[in-house]
A and B are shown apart, each in its own frame.
Chain A
Amino acid sequence: MSMDRREFIKIAGISALLGITGKGAFELLRPGDLDAFEGQEGGAGLRKEDLPKIRWGMTIDVKKCDGQVVQKVRGVCDYLHNIPHFNNKKDEVKWIWGDTYEHAFADGANEYIDDAIKELPFLLLCNHCDHPPCVRVCPTRATFKRPDGIVAMDYHRCIGCRFCMAACPFGSRSFNWRDPREGLKGRKLNPEFPTRMRGVVEKCNFCVERIDKGQIPACAEAAPEVMTFGNLADPNSNIRQVLRVRTSLRRKIELGTEPFVFYLV
C-alpha cells in the first residue's frame, strides 16, 4: 500500500511538472479524491465496497468535562508522548488541552447558550479532518492522512517549514522551537514513544501507536465517561450510537475540512 502510494505521488508530481496529464492539477484542486481511487484499476469510479471500512472519530461530552478531566487527560497524553513542558508560552507544545467555549467555537459561539456549558472547559485536539489543509500544504508529505482517517506525522521527513501550522484552522499543531528534551528534564519518560528533535512540527496522533495494537487513544481510555472513540464507518459502532442519540457540534464546519471530533452538548 505504502509503496503504491509513494509510486503514485512520484508519477503525479512528474506528470504535473511536464504538464502531460491533468492528474497533478486534479490532485492540486481536489486533494484526497485521488487517494480514494488509488490501487483501483482504471479509476472507474468509487464503488460502495471501496469506501473505507474504518474511519476513526471521537466524541467529547462537554457536559461531563471539567477541570479535573482536562488535567487527567492532558497528563496521560503528555506522559505517553513525552510532550515537553516549557515555562513560556512562546515555546509551548501541546497535543490536547482545555480552552473556553468562546475560543473553541470562535466563529460560531452563541452567547445565549446555557451558562453551565459556557463555563465548561472544552477539550481541544487535532480534529483529524477528512480534508486536512495541513496535509494539502505539506511539501514533503511529512504529514499525511492514513486510510483510517488519522492525520499522522513523520518526524523524520518534516523540514520544519510550518506551512501546516499556517494552514490548520484549529491551531492544533505545535513546533519544536527548541530541543524538546530540555522540556522533559526531571520527568518520567515513556520509553516506548520517541522524543522529537527540535525543528519539527508535532501534534495529536489519535494515539496511532495504540490503535495499531487494538487499543483506543489514551485520553478516551482515561476519561471514558467523557470521550468515546470509535469507527464511524461502522453503523453499529459505539460512536455511531452515541451520535444517533445526542446533539453534536463540530468546529468551523463552514471551512469544509470535515473535522472528526464531535462535541456532544
Chain B
Amino acid sequence: MLEKALVGSQRYWGWIIFLLAVIGVGFACWIYQLNYGLGITGMSRDISWGVYIAQFTYFVGVAAGAVMLVIPKYLHHYQKYANIVIFGEFLAIAAVVMCLLFIIVDIGQPQRMLNVLFYPTPNSILFWDMIVLNGYLAINIIVGWNSLLAERKHVPPPAWIKPFIYLSIPWAISIHTVTAFLYAGLPGRHLWLTAIMAPRFLASAFAAGPSLLILLLLLVKKLTRFEPGEEAIQSVAKTVCYAQIANMFFLALEFFTAFYSNIPGHMSGLKYLFFGLDGYHELVPWMWTSITFGLFGILLLLIPPLRRNHTFLVVACASIFFSTWVDKGVGLVIGGFIPNPLEQVTEYHPTFPEIAIATAIWAIGALILTILYKVVVSVRQENA
C-alpha cells in the first residue's frame, strides 16, 4: 500500500521536498550536536531539560488525543467516526515517532540508549515511559494498517485486531499518565509536584490532539475529494471544547492551591511564568497569550453558529493548539526549573541548532503524516 505515497501531484512532491530540506538542515545540526555535545543548546546546569523534552511532552499528548475518536467509535459504535478514526490513529503514529526522536536527540550518550533495556530499572519512570510509548506505537501501527488493508479489500477488519483496539484505549491514557509521572514525582520541583499533573496532561492532550486532527481533516478535505463528514467534525470540536474547559479549570486549581496556601515554593514557579520573579519575566507574555488563546478558543467552540462556521472553527482549533503548546511545550518544563533549587533564576534561550533539530523532528512527523494520509486518501479514492 505504501507505494501509493510514491504517486502524487507536483504540489505533493513540492511539500515532500520542502520537508526533506528542513529535515536535512536539522540532521546536519544533530551531527554537529553529536560531535560537540549538548553544549550547542541553550540548556545549562540549572535548566537541564529544554525544547526537546518539552516538545516530547507535548506530542505525547497529541498522540494520546487519538483515543477521543477510538472510544466513541469502538466503545459506543458511533459510526460517524468510521471514516476518520484512522486519521486519528495515524496522527498518533506520527506523534509517537516524534516523541521517540525528541528523546533520542535529548540524550547525551544516544549510543548507550539500550542501557535502559540492558539494565531494566522499574523504579525509574523513564523505563515505563519507554515501554508505554513503544507499545502505543506498535498498537497504532497494527490497528491502523490492518484496518486500512481491510478497507482496500472491501472486507471487515480481521477479528484479531479487536483486542488491540480495546487495549489502545487504556494504553493511550497510560502514555500521558506515565509522562506526567516523569514530572509529578520529583521532590523539590514544586511546579511539577502536583497530583493533578496527570489529569492536566490528559485534559490538554484531549484538547490538543483532536484540535490538530480537525485542522488536518479540513486540510485533507480541501486538498482532496475526501469528505470527513460535518457531524463528525462537529463532534470532535465539542470534544476539544470540553477538554479545553477542563484543562483551563485544572490550571486554575493549581493557582488556588499555590496561592491560597501561600507556600513560597509552590507559588514561585507560577509566579515566574505568569507574573515574573526577581525581575525575570521573559515567559510572562507567552503564558498570558496562552491563556487568552485558550479561553478565546473555548468561546468560539461554545457558540454553535461559530463552531459550525469553518473559518471560526479553524481559528478556534489553531488557538487551542497554540495555547496548549505554549502551556506544555514552553512553560511547563522551563517553569519547573525556574527558580532552581537554590531559589535562583537562570533563564533559558534555545539556540539556532537546537530549534533547527526540533523543527526537523516536526518535519519528520509531518512527513510520516503526509505519507500515511496520502495512502489513506488514495485507498479511499480507489474504492470510491
List chain A positions with a Cβ less than 8 A from chain B: 6, 9-10, 12-14, 16-17, 24, 27-28, 31, 89-94, 99, 102-104, 106-107, 124, 133, 136-142, 157-163, 165-171, 174-179, 198-201, 252, 255-257
In the complex, what residue of chain A is closest to B346 when comparing beta carbons? A89
A171-B186 contact given A14-B120, A138-B121, A199-B108, CB 8 Å threshold: no
Beta-carbon contact of A27 and B122 below 8 Å:
yes
Chain B, 30-50, contact with A by CB distance < 8 Å: what is the 0/1 string? 000000111101111110110
Task: Choose one: A9, A171, A257; the contact of B119 (CB below 8 Å).
Answer: A9
CA distance A12 to B106 in the complex (A): 28
Q: Tally the A-B contacts, defined by beta carbons under 8 Å.
A: 174
Most buried by A among B38, B103, B118, B336: B38
A140-B116 contact given A9-B121, A166-B48, CB 8 Å threshold: yes
Beta-carbon contact of B108 and A139 below 8 Å:
no
Cβ of B82 < 8 Å from any Cβ of A?
Answer: no
Query: What residues of B have a CB within 8 angstroms of the CB of A140 in the complex?
Result: 112, 115-116, 118-119, 121, 124
In the complex, what residue of chain A is closest to B341 when comparing beta carbons? A171
Beta-carbon contact of B112 and A159 below 8 Å:
yes
CA distance A107 to B265 in the complex (A): 7
Query: What residues of A have a CB within 8 angstroms of the CB of B38 in the complex?
Result: 160, 175, 177-178, 198-199
CA distance A192 to B39 in the complex (A): 27
Most buried by B among A12, A14, A89, A167: A167
Beta-carbon contact of A99 and B342 below 8 Å:
yes
List chain B positions with a Cβ less than 8 A from chain A: 36-39, 41-46, 48-49, 103, 106-110, 112-113, 115-116, 118-127, 130-131, 182-183, 185-189, 264-265, 336-337, 340-344, 346
CA distance A14 to B38 in the complex (A): 33
Query: What residues of B have a CB within 8 angstroms of the CB of A124 in the complex?
Result: 342
CA distance A206 to B380 in the complex (A): 66
In the complex, what residue of chain B is closest to A99 when comparing beta carbons? B342
Known: A157-B115, A159-B113, A179-B37. 10 other contacts (CB 8 A): A27-B122, A90-B39, A91-B39, A106-B343, A107-B265, A133-B188, A159-B115, A160-B109, A165-B48, A199-B38
Query: What residues of A have a CB within 8 angstroms of the CB of B343 in the complex?
Result: 102-103, 106
Query: What residues of A have a CB within 8 angstroms of the CB of B113 in the complex?
Result: 159
In the complex, what residue of chain A is closest to B115 when comparing beta carbons? A140
19 example contacts (A-B, Cβ-Cβ < 8 A) are as follows: A6-B119, A9-B120, A10-B120, A27-B123, A89-B44, A93-B45, A106-B342, A124-B342, A136-B123, A159-B110, A160-B38, A161-B126, A167-B189, A171-B342, A177-B43, A179-B36, A198-B38, A199-B107, A256-B187
CA distance A180 to B302 in the complex (A): 56
Q: How far is the CB of B333 from chain A (nearest CB, A)?
A: 9
Most buried by A among B39, B44, B121, B340: B121
CA distance A90 to B125 in the complex (A): 27
In the complex, what residue of chain B is closest to A169 when comparing beta carbons? B188
In the complex, what residue of chain B is closest to A31 when comparing beta carbons? B123
CA distance A161 to B130 in the complex (A): 13
Task: Choose one: A141, A163, A177, A255; the contact of B188 (CB below 8 Å).
Answer: A255
CA distance A178 to B41 in the complex (A): 10
Q: How far is the CB of B346 from chain A (nearest CB, A)?
A: 7
Query: What residues of A have a CB within 8 angstroms of the CB of B126 in the complex?
Result: 137, 139, 161, 163
Beta-carbon contact of A171 and B340 below 8 Å:
yes
Beta-carbon contact of A159 and B119 below 8 Å:
no
Beta-carbon contact of A157 and B346 below 8 Å:
no
CA distance A243 to B243 in the complex (A): 55
